[in-house]
Amino acid sequence: MTLPSHALESKIWRKPQSAEGGRDCGFKSRRVHMVRCKSGYDPQEDSTMLERYARQCAKGKVLDIGTGSGIQAIAAAQNSSVKSVLAADIQKEVVNYCKKNIKNRRIKFIQSDLFKKIKGKFDTIIFNPPYLPQELKLKDITIEGGKKGYEVIERFLYDVNNFLNPNGIILMVFSSLTKKEKVLEFIRDNLLEFEELEKQHIFFEDIYVCLLRKNELLKKLERRGISNARYLAKGHRGVIFTGLYKNKKIAVKSKNPQSAAVGRIENEAKWLERLNKSKIGPKLLIHDRDYFAYEYIGGDFIIDCLKKSSKGKIKKIIKDIFSQMLALDKLKIDKEEMHHPIKHVIVSKNKPYLIDFERAHYSKSPKNVTQFCQFLMGGYAMEILRGKKIAIDNGRLIQLAKVYKNNPNRANFRKIVDVACK
């Protein structure tokens, strides 16, 4: 992003250059007496906007990240519902300065790069981050959040949930120069809810103060022992998150809030539970009314796998998928979409896993095997297979698929596999 230099200068302009001795910050309404340190950040408009909410909303155990002058820590400590404040800054010099100059029994200071040296959980986490893009190579960590400006915020939001109590709040400030859409994306991806508390246009930027909370799904997942939940992908009906459960990476599927479909999640969890008994699908771990969690399958979608794998491996994978199709046909379950399974088969360590059972249903004549034949004969797959010197006789496969359709027995199935994997 190319910033107009005057825009970036606005924040620098707002940073007073003289830096000796304590001061009242120049804001008559505040009784906080600030200290100043050469490598620190003198409280600016963003500080004072955030400070008001720190004083009003902070509760319980408070963590002030990037404490700088300590303005947020001091304001939070003024709220009678605050028990203690831990104030952290990446700069040792800033921390030492605060330790020496801020004498408040409820505030402790620590040097830490974001959460690196932080232990425990907090009811309030306050952060006035460095959020300007590093366009002018000023390399000032008090104001610049990285090349794009939002990198420190991204790292903060990635970890913050592990340090926030279920009903805890985050008070954070950022600017329009940080790219609001990006910040909102990180907030959503980490299952947080966003509330804008205040917006002020100052010089060439808008400054936002926001309050973030864990969303209901995140709280539910954490109650079941799932941590590190993060957005992965979105489908028509479901949203997929990743997380950690018993030290293993898992996937969580929940309802896409934009979908009007009812009962799909419960339904899919039931199918997965049933099919796991036939060794189909990733292992179901937990299910609830509005989400289910299953083992995370790290690998490639089928097309990417076909592109990458050798002829021998492709044949093995195709055979394995066919066996799973046969098992489904025998169970009289139609998975649907196997003629276009682009995002419905993940191959991990040469083992194909069927995923997405949203549309699965019982059927007198399921079409899993024949649909998969269709996929192999379709233009996209066919081209890749030809490139790997796997030439399927389409005419013969169509004939055999028809025979199998009328008489879905093992012998007819074998013939299909033989032609497809010749």
Residue ranges in contact with ligand SAM by CB under 6 A: 40-41, 43, 47, 50, 65-69, 71-72, 88-91, 94, 113-114, 128, 130, 141-143, 152
Closest to ligand SAM by CB, 154 or 295: 154
* Helix residue ranges, H only, 128-215: 151-160, 180-189
Closest to ligand SAM by CB, 95 or 326: 95
Pairwise CA distance, residues 400 & 409, whole Å = 12
Cβ neighbors of 346 (< 8 A, separation 6 or more) are 297, 299, 300, 301, 302, 352, 353, 355
Q: How far is the CB of 230 from ligand SAM (least distance, A)?
A: 20
Q: How far is the CB of 152 from ligand SAM (least distance, A)?
A: 5
Q: How far is the CB of 121 from ligand SAM (least distance, A)?
A: 18
Q: How far is the CB of 14 from ligand SAM (least distance, A)?
A: 11
Please state, in angstroms and as integers, the Cα–Cα distance from residue 68 to each residue in 42, 43, 94, 99, 220, following that order: 8, 8, 6, 11, 35
123: left (phi over 0), alpha (psi -120 to 50) or beta: alpha
Closest to ligand SAM by CB, 160 or 392: 160
Among the listed residues 231, 226, 222, the one whose alpha carbon sits nearest the alpha carbon of residue 249: 226
Q: How far is the CB of 59 from ligand SAM (least distance, A)?
A: 18
Closest to ligand SAM by CB, 177 or 346: 177
Q: How far is the CB of 79 from ligand SAM (least distance, A)?
A: 16
Q: How far is the CB of 156 from ligand SAM (least distance, A)?
A: 8
Pairwise CA distance, residues 217 & 195, whole Å = 17
**Phi, psi at 249, each rounded to 5°:** -70, 135
Closest to ligand SAM by CB, 132 or 251: 132
Closest to ligand SAM by CB, 177 or 360: 177
Closest to ligand SAM by CB, 152 or 377: 152
Cβ neighbors of 5 (< 8 A, separation 6 or more) are 135, 136
**Phi, psi at 60, each rounded to 5°:** 55, -135
Please state, in angstroms and as integers, the Cα–Cα distance from residue 84 to each residue in 67, 100, 107, 112, 173, following that order: 15, 18, 6, 18, 22
Indicate the pairing of strand 82-89 with strand 107-111: parallel
Q: How far is the CB of 11 from ligand SAM (least distance, A)?
A: 9
Closest to ligand SAM by CB, 152 or 325: 152
Among the listed residues 8, 22, 195, 171, the one whose alpha carbon sits nearest the alpha carbon of residue 82: 171
